[in-house]
Amino acid sequence: MLSWIDGLLHNSSEKVHATGQRALKNLILHNPTDTIVLDECITKLYFTSFPEALESYLQVLSDILMSQSNVFIPYWQILSVLLCTLGHEESSIRMKSARLLRFFDESQPKQAKLQDLDISISDRTAAVYKKAQYEISQRLATRDDDDLAFNVFSESSKRYKLLQPDQQRNMVLAVLPWIKTINLQLDPNGGPTPASYMLLVNLFEITIVSTTSLHNEIQALWQALATGPHAGNVRLVLDFIIDLSLWGREQQYVEVARQIVVFLSSTPAGQRVIDFLLLQIGPETMISGKRQPMLVPAASLIKAFPYFANLPMAIRQSGNKNVSL
């Protein structure tokens, strides 16, 4: 049924197209608790290249979510995709995205007041509407809601590796303000919390996928972690990449870790990065067995997030077949 509807929405005939919209709307309204249908619609917003079809998916979702209280999508899920469609080249798609974002924002305890950016979002010049896209994301990210930030990043990274480079660049712009607000923390056992571990693993996978094609954008993501208000992020990142390199026993982990160190060393925290690394290569730390294995949170806790990267699989897909599992 979903495949048939998608075919109708990709048809150039206005009559056939309208039939597809009605069919999609009826399918959702008659199955309000079926997450598969809603998830498929969200997925289409990421990957549909035909503007008319993309706009139809967005219009149907907007009509339903703004009028039907019994149809539910998690806020972080709709927020993640709308921040991306805000950067679409079609003005009508951007405006529909901004309208739906405002609707959800008005239901939040602390509103971001996005109305004043409508003119910029509708502008034809890419530099103007991209700046507005970033500003909207930044306003929404300043709510001091760590759970929301982690879920937005997890949902975005779930889609990232399947997108084309231009779409990946757009997604980085959308999530960058959220990365700047994130506070990486340790659990009582001394390892990263499930949320912190998820973010580091997913960001490491993104680095594997795009370190060549989107070098500057990937650098900006890691530097955002280091230059935000949480000074402890740098130490936790360095501990993570060192442990991953030692215990993962994979040369490409080391290569990616080296790049991350270079990214971090060019931030204001660069001297702390160098000092920490010098401490790691002293005689005491080089004794075999001195360093404890990396503490990994329980899989059930990590998988509570929308996406948790499989790094060995990411290595295989990047072209390296010699992966130690």
Helices (H), 91-145: 91-105, 118-122, 126-141
Q: Give the pLDDT confidence score for residue 47 in this predicted structure.
A: 94
How high is the pLDDT of residue 321? 40
Annotated domain spans of the chain: 146-325
For residues 174 and 274, give the distance between their C-alpha atoms in angstroms, rounded to a whole number.
30
Write down the pLDDT at residue 2: 92
Integer CA distances (angstroms), 195 to 184, 224, 295, in order: 8, 17, 14
Query: How confident is the model at residue 71, as a pLDDT?
Result: 87
pLDDT recorded at residue 145:
81
CA atoms within 13 A on the CB side of 113: 1
How high is the pLDDT of residue 61?
94
pLDDT on residue 107: 83
Which residue ranges in the chain fall short of pLDDT 70? 144, 282-294, 319-325
What was the pLDDT predicted at 127?
95
Q: What is the pTM of this model?
A: 0.90
Residue 325 confidence (pLDDT)? 28
Distances (CA, A) of 151 to 62, 78, 175, 245: 21, 11, 11, 26
Cα–Cα distance list, 171 to 68, 83, 113, 153, 227 (Å): 29, 8, 22, 10, 20
pLDDT at position 201 is 95
What local confidence, expressed as pLDDT, does residue 245 receive? Answer: 84
**Backbone φ, ψ for residue 49 (5° rounding):** -90, -20
pLDDT at 324: 35
Measure the CA–CA gap between 204 and 201, rounded to whole angstroms: 5
In this structure, is the dihedral angle defined by the CA atoms of residues 265, 296, 309 and 288, taken in order, positive or negative?
Answer: positive
